[in-house]
Amino acid sequence: MTEGAALIDGGARLAAMLPPGWIMMLGALVVPLLRGPVRQGWMLALPVLGLFQMLALPLGSEMSATFFAYELELLRFDSIARAFGLVFHSAAILSVVYAMKNDSALEGSAALVYSGSAISAVFAGDLITLFICWELTAVSSVFLIWASGNERANRSGMRYLIVQVGSGVLLLAGTIIHYAETGSLAFDHLGLVGFGTGLIFVAFGIKAAFPFLHNWLQDAYPNATVTGTVFLSAFTTKLAIYALARGFAGTEILIPIGAVMAVFPIFYAVIENDLRRVLAYGLNNQLGYMVVGVGIGTEFALNGTVAHVVAHVIYKGLLFMSMGAVLYRVGTVKASELGGLYKSMPITTLLCIVGAASISAPLTGGFVSKSMIVSAAAEEHYTVVFLVLLLASAGAFLYLGIKVCFFAFFGQDRGFRVKEAPLNMLIAMGGAAALCLGIGMFPGTLYGLLPYPVDYVPYTVSHVVTILQLLLFSVLAFAFLRKAGLYPPELRSTLLDSDWIYRRMLPWINDGLAFAYNRAVDRGLGPARGLLSQVMSTVERIHRPDGVLGNPWPTGATTLWAAIMLFALLLLSY
């Protein structure tokens, strides 16, 4: 055997001994040592090798290790882990291709560790391994935000890190309590059955961007680098959806939570000016569908959740890529500053339209995945939720399919004449667009990857007609509002969202309580302060040079007072 063949064989044996994701994390350590095309090739080879390693595993594969007195399950390869692992590897490959021109070794290493730890978390069979990977995703991904190198990104990154590490602390605390109560560390179905699982549920909810816990997402993602946002959009929140599906399927409180998530971002997205923030709100909206699917908890609903995760990772990544290409070439993604870019970036425009259509249009991934969740809500007689999800679908197309594409590439021509996106970005966007269309045209391939048998036909006359009507309604509504001058203008502004609670309401409450406390203290201690003031004034008057104690006393008076004090002391001592 030649030296090269022996090296390859040794590498293959090493890969077989590692859980999926570890190849990327360990390989990331080498990235700073490489330069130029060698580094680019190495970064691309890692997720490709990881994908082949995962595909070579038979279903049911397991790998365990002993950590102190605990038995850890580092690998649990079942159908749901396979589906998430496949889309996570695919997203990592596309994101690395998109980031080929990024020369930052720190950002490249962080992106690979982040991707690898998210993949490893998907295959974790115990809560300790999940926690370790959970925290690795938090610590590594923050560098994708800080790499922007400006003060706003630094603040957003610090907030992101605090929130994500806080989620991990809750996960650890819940794990400890759950272990004390049950003696089990297995990461299977947990349910809301105790204080420990309640903490774990909140930890997952923070990462999934539940309502009022979500603004870290809209703050952090748009402030990341052009390429960092693409990585971020694929892993953090989808890992949380996986964790909810694994541990809390059928938990009914998730249904109203998901319904609210699906609706409220629409209103903020319509008035938001930063188009990457618009996409972040869109991410929140689509997470709502997934959370509803997990809450319903039937096999059909869980299949829909997994299918929508796969479709959403691809088309949302495509949309962030297209806006990243605009930011890379133009230097801004403010809707109030863009327009007419279809003349300079026609390919990017077309690919962005494919990504926007993929949220719900026929022949795209979103059409064949999201409809499963909506149909599951109807089958289980959640009529209000069913109607809410239909409304949210129309609204999502309004702010994604119309707003993002219209204001970035059409609308008023701002005079930008720039180059088309770099070739590597076009290749990544083209690959994502092909997957969006391929999933939509051949849904059987996607359905074959789902955790339970699928008996669902998305292309029925009623379904197609309903969706086309919703899309047409969205287009007409946008056109009418624009024509009538009723559409909210694109303004340079900061949209607080639920941050209003922290930035406005809580300071007002704090100031009000402080004022009330001071008034109460003033009123309650007023008489005492007056008496104390009189006593101090009297003492001061007595001790002045012309006061009683300020003048020299005669010898006889001094002797008399000394005798009186001595007598008093003797009396007290007796």
- Say how far apart CA 170 and CA 288 lie, in whole Å: 22
Q: What is the pLDDT of residues 289-310, one digit of tens each?
A: 999 999 999 999 999 999 999 9
Q: H or E element: which one contains 44?
A: helix 36-55
Check: CB of residue 422 under 8 Å from CB of residue 98. no
Q: What is the pLDDT of residues 486-540, one digit of tens each?
A: 666 655 656 666 666 666 676 777 777 777 767 776 666 666 667 777 777 777 7
Return the higher-pLDDT residue of 570 and 408.
408
The separation between the first and the last C-alpha atoms of the chain, rounded to the nearest angstrom, is 107
- Say how far apart CA 525 and CA 523 lie, in whole Å: 6
Per cent of the chain over pLDDT 70 is 87
Q: What is the pLDDT of residues 230-242, one digit of tens each?
A: 999 999 999 999 9
Amino acid identity for residue 27 in this structure: G
**Residue holding tokens 């949220």?**
359
Q: What is the pLDDT of residues 69-104, one digit of tens each?
A: 888 999 999 999 999 999 999 999 999 999 998 889
Task: Record the tokens describing residue 245, joined without a space.
Answer: 């599906």
Residue 508 has what pLDDT? 74
Give, as one character, the DSSP assignment of residue 66.
Answer: E
Question: Which of 163, 271, 259, 270 lies closest to 217 in space, CA to CA?
Answer: 163
The mean pLDDT of 146-160, rounded to a whole number, is 92
The mean pLDDT of 193-214, rounded to a whole number, is 93
Q: Is the pLDDT of residue 10 over 60?
A: no
3-state class (DSSP) for residue 189: coil
3-state class (DSSP) for residue 62: strand
